[in-house]
């Protein structure tokens, strides 16, 4: 498995770990942003990440029937983990602001579902996926991601453990509680929820 040191080196080399003032898709502000699309655009580099994450998933979670990922960020990583674990992989996408299953995708009753994302900060997208799983009367096995940015204060996922390739402790701030150094840096909104 890929060590934390090696994982961080890959993120920096692929320019997936960015410094600045970012508004995350959760609405929180942060001095760092992980742009997993940069990592995933380089298959050779991202293969080390996905292979390592798939081994961690195999170690902790058994009998997966289906992998569900949120669009857009989770599609590639979900597919790649599904390929490595030889599991059916589907994704949900936003329709009028809410996640839906489209394109003929469905989750069978009582199936065992692993939710896979690129980055988890608050868990908002993952929890929206949970609603689809519950609506289908299926079972949540847990959550997996390339990068876990969650903290005890930010995370909304409480019940299940998050399996990640890298756990990053990056501070996040509410808009009305920004540190002075962050206020001086122009804001970038990189998350897919901000795209029109």
Give the span between the Cα atoms of 22 and 72, in whole angstroms: 19
Class of domain 4-194: alpha beta
Q: Helices (H), strands (E): how many in the chain?
A: 6, 9
Helix (H) or strand (E) holding 83: helix 74-85
Q: What is the pLDDT of residue 154?
A: 58
- How do residues 43-82 score in pLDDT, each as one tens digit? 888 888 899 999 999 999 989 999 999 988 889 999 999 9
The C-alpha R_g of the chain, in whole angstroms, comes to: 16
Helix 74-85 vs helix 43-60: crossing angle, to nearest 10: 60
- How do residues 127-185 score in pLDDT, each as one tens digit? 888 899 999 999 999 999 999 988 765 566 665 688 999 998 888 888 999 999 999 99
- Provide the sign of the torsion angle of the four alpha carbons 105, 191, 126, 40, taken in this order: positive
Residue 194's pLDDT band (cuts 50, 70, 90): very low
Residue among 190, 192, 120, 189 at smallest CA distance from 149: 120
Give the span between the Cα atoms of 97 and 103, in whole angstroms: 17
Could you please report the per-residue DSSP string of 8-71?
HHHHHHTT-EEEEEEE-TTS-EEEEEE-HHHHHTSHHHHHHHHHHHHHHHHHH-----EEEEET
How many residues are given for the chain? 196
Q: What is the pLDDT of residue 163?
A: 93
Whole-model pTM: value is 0.82
């Amino acid at each position: 498995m890929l060590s934390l040191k090696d994982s961080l080196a890959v993120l920096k080399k692929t320019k997936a770990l960015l410094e600045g003032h970012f508004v995350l898709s959760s609405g929180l502000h942060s001095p760092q942003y992980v742009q997993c699309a940069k990592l995933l655009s380089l298959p050779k580099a991202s293969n080390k990440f996905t292979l390592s994450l798939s081994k961690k998933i195999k170690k902790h979670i058994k009998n997966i029937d289906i992998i569900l990922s949120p669009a857009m960020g989770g599609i590639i990583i979900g597919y790649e983990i599904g390929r490595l674990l030889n599991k059916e992989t589907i994704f949900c996408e936003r329709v009028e602001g809410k996640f839906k299953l489209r394109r003929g995708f469905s989750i069978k009753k009582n199936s065992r579902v692993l939710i896979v994302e690129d980055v988890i900060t608050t868990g908002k997208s993952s929890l929206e996926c949970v609603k689809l799983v519950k609506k289908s009367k299926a079972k949540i096995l847990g959550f997996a991601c390339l990068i876990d940015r969650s903290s005890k204060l930010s995370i909304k996922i409480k019940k299940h453990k998050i399996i990640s390739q890298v756990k990053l402790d990056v501070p996040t701030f509410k808009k009305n509680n920004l540190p002075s150094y962050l206020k001086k840096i122009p804001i970038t909104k990189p998350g897919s929820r901000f795209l029109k």
